[in-house]
Amino acid sequence: MKKHIFISGRVQGVGFRHFTKTSARSLGVNGWVRNLPDGRVEAVLQGDEQLVDQLIEKCKKGPRSAYVQNIEVEEEKGEESYTSFDVKF
């Protein structure tokens, strides 16, 4: 299962990428996360569907200093496979 998410709100400069990476690694979800120039955070999450959904639920709240307004979730179709969870710059 692979999902592509876009998170909007006050999600940059608040540790959101680190929060997502730490949460993903604790759940055993692979993929990546990065900031976008428009102020959103983008991530690709790959792993067991239930664990990916748990991570999305965590991202709906984010770290303490974040304010999440919206999360867009899309099914990701690509063949690319990830073996860890990383922060992209």
> Is 35 part of the annotated catalytic residue set?
yes
Give me the sheet containing 85-87, strands edge to edge: 67-75, 2-10, 41-46, 30-35, 85-87
> Is 64 part of the annotated catalytic residue set?
no
Q: Alpha-carbon distance 77 to 4, whole Å?
A: 9
Q: Which of 34, 35, 40, 64 is catalytic?
A: 35
Q: Which of 10, 17, 30, 70 is catalytic?
A: 17
Active-site positions?
17, 35
